Structure 1
Amino acid sequence: MEHVRDSFARQKAMTLIGASLASLEAGASEIRLPYRADLTQQKGFVHGGIIGMIADSACGYAAYSLMPASASLVTVEYKINILAPARGSLVARGKVLKSGRTLTVARAEVYADDGTHVASMQQTLMMLPDTPDTPE
């Protein structure tokens, strides 16, 4: 799964917010985000867009872990429910629900360090065969 780790290392959006790929196995990933005040909204909670970013990537890398290095993938749809204010550091756990020939459905759950269930996302991704996940 080195191609997955290499892809995450090139993910500039994750670098920008300070997220890390904490865990990876076939069909599952975990992304950690340390708390930073510059990622919050006006009331001091982690911004919903940032929560969506880590959930999106957790689903994506869970899906990519089941694909060959000669392929890449893109998100084609997702729905996120923000369940509680996001306080402190976060973890997004992505898991593949169904991996098909072209489309994959994945789910991510986002938790705060205190155990609060912050968000749930369901996502559909499309595999791009023979399109390596490398810079153009």
Structure 2
Amino acid sequence: MNAGQHFTPRDPDFAVRVRAGFDAQPMMAFIGATLSSVEAGRCVIELPFRPELAQQNGFFHGGIVGTLADNAGGFAGYTLMAADAGVLTVEYKLNLMAPAQGERLIAEGQVLRAGRSLVVSRAEVYVLGPAGKIHCATMQQTLMTMHGKGVA
């Protein structure tokens, strides 16, 4: 994912702010997700499988896959916003490309373009299981920078 692209964050303490924002989301704690990596323009979120997160065939539910993708892309965008800003998803498109059958989901969010008010990011979601690491979903989203609305 755009490995050669380099972003300069507006907030030198972006990683602390992003981790605090992640920790302030009850949804992430509820499903058991963890923020495993934070870099300027990039975030990785992981989620171990539990039966409560499955659909009727025993795969991770598509809503859970979408939730992880949305948060990985959103927090990737949030790394490049000002210290007093908040982030809000405006829209996203999710392509589910393979059943998310396995022990763990990994969502890798990456900023494609960061503007003053709008950020475009994407996330690639992988499932780890007996068949190895399978690319199960791709998401592209638009984020809105909420100036002066940071997490309290």
Flag whether TM exceeds 0.5 (same fold): yes
Q: Quick one: distance in 1 between partners of 2:33 and 2:17?
A: 18
TM-score norm. by structure 2 comes to 0.86
Describe how 1:53-132 pairs up with structure 2 within 5 A: 53-88=67-102, 89-113=104-128, 114-132=132-150
| Residue identity matched to 1:16 | F
Root-mean-square deviation (CA, aligned residues, Å) is: 0.7
Moved over 3 A (4+): none
Q: Which residue of 2 aligns with 1:17?
A: 31
TM-score norm. by structure 1 comes to 0.96
Q: How many residues align?
A: 134
- Deviation, structure 1 residue 54: 0.3
Gaps of 5+ in 2: 1-14
For 1:39, which of 31, 53, 66 is the aligned residue?
A: 53
Q: Quick one: distance in 2 between partners of 1:17 and 1:98?
A: 29
Contact 1:76 1:126 in 2 (8 A): yes
Summarize deviations over 1:83-127 as a string: whole Å, max 9, x none. 000012110000000000100000000001121111000000000
Percent of matched pairs sharing the same residue = 51
| Residue identity matched to 2:118 | L
